[in-house]
Amino acid sequence: MATGRLERVRRRASDASVAALLVTNLSNIRWLTGFSGSAGMLLVTGERAVLTSDGRYRTQAAEQVRSAEVDDVVEVVIGGVVAQREAIAAALGPGQTVGLEADSVSWSDQRRWAEALEHHELVPTQALVETERTVKDTGELARMERAAAIADEALARVVGLLAGAGRGEPVPDGMGGGPLSERRFAAALDNAMRELGSEEPAFETIVASGENSAKPHARPGDRLIMPGDAVVVDFGATFDGYRSDMTRTFSVGGAPTGELARVFDVVLDAQRTGVGAVAPGVVAGRVDEACREVITAAGWGERFEHGTGHGVGLDIHEAPSVGPGSTAILEEGTVATVEPGVYLAGVGGVRIEDTLVVTADGSRPLTNFTKDVAV
């Protein structure tokens, strides 16, 4: 499987007039070789692939490359930084053009590589590997479905804490007792995901209640969750490196009232409309437009303050962008989120998000937790 990925990247490098590609983005290295260590480099030429790392990963690198079934085409070199750079240089042919991943290489790294590869021309490349990662294969989709299922079940386990807060009840004694804060709910959700098999949260879990829910990326703090609050819960699980992403917004203690009730209705309508727009051949920017048209018609266009979505996979944010002006074309097997929101300072905010996989005739959700509002 990974052998085919290497060949596809070789073709993209050749089309970009690059004889050798130096891959330093760790997610790209994992996708191409199976290696998941925190330090490594991968050189891909027309004939060779050389993976380098340090002594911490001697056994792991060999095992993971073998598990990915590329051990016959990927040479593993273990050593210090100097030895790794020397191995990269030795694997290059005379005067070959070397592509560096422009989005992953710092200015200082570029200068060091210019010294180490002084007889080679270094050129910037963009998204040669990431573009190939956009369409997921069946194995990747299975991992993402598992991550999403873990997240669904974890939320089901802990959502009763919000219901208890709505009734003015303390956290159960077995969970420490006392009032429920944003931070405590986030911790309970993260712990539930780990117990169910998540390697780590897909990203820092967002729990934002009351006035904090009007901040799209608020961090959970010590604010107590109270009856009448809107609570935005944005989170995901990780399974075998692959991530899920889901947002639900709850109304604590019963159905929302006043202006906030209308916000819930409009955002749910916008999200359904956006999901309905997802299909192969659709320009991603059109999905954003579909959501934005609903919210703008309701009078809150300026309060939808972020893009509609993004790709998900080994990274929580990857191609394609699903935002204003995005020209990416959705393909069967592409995974992306649809997550419109409205945020009213002093009132509260609502965001609803699912992760979807594009199918032959539309899409299907990977995240399936109910969108019931009241808890």
In a domain? residue 371: no
Out of 118-132, 162-176, 284-298, pick the least confident: 162-176
Model pLDDT for residues 326-363, shown as the tens digit of each residue = 999 999 999 999 999 999 999 999 999 999 999 999 99
In a domain? residue 128: yes
Same domain membership, residue 176 and residue 46: no
In a domain? residue 374: no
Same domain membership, residue 316 and residue 201: yes
Same domain membership, residue 32 and residue 9: yes
Token reading at 304: 């939808």
In a domain? residue 169: yes
As a whole number of angstroms, the distance between CA 100 and CA 110 comes to 8
- Give pLDDT, residue 315: 98
Indicate which CATH number applies to the domain containing 351.
Answer: 3.90.230.10
Written as one string, the DSSP assignment of 161-184 is HHHHHHTTPPPPGGGT-S--BHHH
- Give pLDDT, residue 173: 83
Same domain membership, residue 61 and residue 186: no
Indicate which CATH number applies to the domain containing 17.
Answer: 3.40.350.10
Same domain membership, residue 311 and residue 221: yes
Q: How many structural domains compose the chain? A: 2
**Residue 2: pLDDT over 80:** no
Selection from 211, 243, 213 nearest residue 336 by Cα: 243
Token reading at 115: 């010294």
Peptide bond into 256 cis (omega under 30): no
As a whole number of angstroms, the distance between CA 221 and CA 186 comes to 9
Q: How many CB atoms lie within 10 A of CB 343?
A: 22
Q: What are the counts of helices (DSSP H) followed by strands (DSSP E) for the chain? A: 10, 18
Same domain membership, residue 43 and residue 142: no
H/E element, 254? none
Same domain membership, residue 145 and residue 62: no
pLDDT band at 174 (very low <50, low <70, confident <90, very high): confident
Q: What is the dihedral of CA 329, 333, 335, 339, to 10 degrees?
A: 70
Last residue within a domain, chosen from 84, 107, 133? 133
In a domain? residue 370: no
Max intra-chain CA distance, the chain: 73
Query: Are 27 and 127 contacting, i.e. CB atoms less than 8 angstroms apart?
Result: no
Same domain membership, residue 83 and residue 168: no
Model pLDDT for residues 188-246, shown as the tens digit of each residue = 999 999 999 999 999 999 999 999 999 999 999 999 999 999 999 999 999 999 999 99
Predicted TM-score (pTM) of this structure? 0.95
Q: What is the mean pLDDT of the chain?
A: 96
Last residue within a domain, chosen from 69, 100, 133? 133
Selection from 158, 16, 163 nearest residue 97 by Cα: 16
Token reading at 57: 């990963």
Tokens 């200068």: give the residue.
Answer: 111
Selection from 240, 236, 263 nearest residue 353 by Cα: 236
Same domain membership, residue 227 and residue 344: yes
- Give pLDDT, residue 1: 54
In a domain? residue 63: yes
Tokens 């050749």: give the residue.
Answer: 14
Last residue within a domain, chosen from 133, 161, 188? 133
- Give pLDDT, residue 3: 72
| pLDDT (mean) for 21-44 | 98
Token reading at 12: 């993209």
As a whole number of angstroms, the distance between CA 304 and CA 142 comes to 32
Token reading at 114: 């210019």
**Residue 302: helix, strand or coil by DSSP?**
helix
Token reading at 111: 């200068």
In a domain? residue 284: yes
Residue numbers of the domain that contains 122: 2-133
Based on its alpha-carbon atoms, the radius of gyration of the chain, rounded to whole angstroms, reads 23
CA angle, corner 136, sides to 130 and 139, nearest 5? 125
pLDDT band at 9 (very low <50, low <70, confident <90, very high): very high
As a whole number of angstroms, the distance between CA 268 and CA 255 comes to 14
Query: Are 216 and 131 contacting, i.e. CB atoms less than 8 angstroms apart?
Result: no
Same domain membership, residue 234 and residue 356: yes
Same domain membership, residue 51 and residue 17: yes
For residue 369, the number of C-alpha atoms closer than 13 Å in the C-beta half-sphere is: 29
In a domain? residue 373: no
Same domain membership, residue 280 and residue 211: yes
DSSP 8-state class, residue 334: B
- Give pLDDT, residue 177: 87
